[in-house]
């Protein structure tokens, strides 16, 4: 099957895990009922609170959050890219920011741990140091699914195009970017970066974002997007929680790559 509907789920996640998972189920069910066979959740969909409380919010895999996701994918018979949640690391007090891919039978197809951590200081706007509480992932990860090969990334990864070229060379035709992009950086860079990654790699990009005000005091950007392999934004959210959908046409990916074979021409980057 070369065409299917994909959904990006925009959320406003807080510190109540059970409430977040209940909302996750409701929005994912809405997406499935509207015809989506692929649903992508945002970054930190299961818990988002203060850095001081992170250690208590981490969970192992398998564990309560991954078990919930397996059941959800199986119940709805969908491919589910579970944005990210905090996976307990061996280093006490730290976590990986982990994205899972669940298949329609409820099995885990892939686990990606966010490689690039958001350590930035924009005076008067945003100051974050994720590495204080989180560990870097090391592996570039794709997932083979009935809908095509999915290349996994999370939020700040978006600024590092070499990651996406590796994902594309590994066979990805769909790139997922679950995020909690801040309003300040999002207003300037979110759409240009998403469209660039789609154009460069001639792939669909699905980027669900957080919306509203983060627990750290700054606003999230919202504006979740699905971008086609020509760089056209084919679905876009506004503010607040919502589900956006777009048709993915993998024949279009193949045609764009055939007519403009950038992947074959990219000799300098090999």
How many angstroms separate the Cα of 85 from the Cα of each of 33, 148, 241?
24, 24, 18
Q: Can you list the domains of the chain with their CATH numbers?
A: 3-265 (3.60.110.10)
Task: Name the pairing type of β-strands 225-227 and 219-221.
Answer: unpaired
114 is catalytic: yes
How many angstroms separate the Cα of 77 from the Cα of each of 2, 29, 146, 177?
18, 10, 11, 22
Render pLDDT for 228-237 as a digit per residue (tens, 0 to 9): 999 999 999 9
Render pLDDT for 90-146 as a digit per residue (tens, 0 to 9): 876 789 999 999 999 999 999 999 999 987 787 777 777 788 889 999 999 999 999
Over 90: is that where the pLDDT of 267 sits?
A: no
Render pLDDT for 37-64 as a digit per residue (tens, 0 to 9): 999 999 999 999 988 888 889 999 999 9
Torsion of CA 47, 80, 187, 130, to 10 degrees: 40
Q: 0.85 exceeded by the pTM?
A: yes
- Mean pLDDT of the 161-170 span: 97
* Cβ-based burial of 89 (10 A; exposed 0-12, middle 13-18, buried ≥19): middle
Q: For helices 183-201 and 161-169, give the axis angle rounded to 10 degrees.
A: 30
One of 54, 70, 87, 114 is an active-site residue; which one? 114
How many angstroms separate the Cα of 131 from the Cα of each of 115, 137, 179, 195?
11, 11, 17, 28
One of 70, 130, 135, 155 is an active-site residue; which one? 155
Nearest to 161 by CA among 197, 137, 208: 197
Confidence category of residue 214, pLDDT binned at 50, 70, 90: confident
CA distance 212 to 86: 20
Confidence category of residue 215, pLDDT binned at 50, 70, 90: confident
CA distance 209 to 11: 7
One of 43, 54, 130, 135 is an active-site residue; which one? 43
């Amino acid at each position: 099957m070369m065409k299917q509907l994909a959904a990006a789920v925009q959320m406003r996640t807080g510190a109540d895990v059970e409430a977040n998972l209940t909302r996750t189920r409701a929005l994912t069910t809405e997406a499935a009922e509207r015809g989506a066979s692929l649903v992508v959740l945002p970054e930190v969909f299961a818990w988002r609170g203060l850095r001081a409380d992170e250690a208590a919010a981490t969970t192992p895999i398998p564990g309560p959050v991954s078990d919930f996701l397996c059941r959800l994918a199986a119940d709805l018979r969908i491919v589910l890219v579970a944005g990210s949640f905090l996976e307990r690391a061996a280093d006490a007090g730290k976590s990986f920011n982990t994205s899972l891919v669940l298949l329609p039978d409820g099995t885990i197809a892939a686990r990606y741990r966010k490689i690039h951590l958001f350590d930035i200081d924009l005076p008067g706007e945003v100051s974050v140091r994720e590495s204080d509480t989180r560990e870097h992932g090391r592996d570039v990860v794709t997932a083979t699914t009935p809908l095509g090969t999915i290349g996994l990334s999370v939020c700040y990864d978006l600024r590092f195009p070499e990651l996406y070229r590796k994902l594309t060379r590994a066979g990805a035709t769909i790139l997922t970017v679950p995020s909690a992009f801040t309003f300040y950086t999002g207003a300037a860079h979110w759409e240009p970066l998403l469209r660039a990654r789609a154009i460069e790699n001639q792939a669909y990009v699905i980027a669900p974002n957080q919306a509203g005000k983060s627990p750290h005091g700054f606003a999230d950007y919202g504006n979740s997007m699905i971008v086609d392999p020509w760089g056209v934004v084919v679905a876009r959210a506004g503010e607040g929680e919502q589900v956006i959908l777009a048709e993915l046409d993998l024949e279009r990916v193949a045609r764009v790559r055939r007519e403009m074979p950038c992947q074959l021409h990219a000799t300098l980057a090999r």
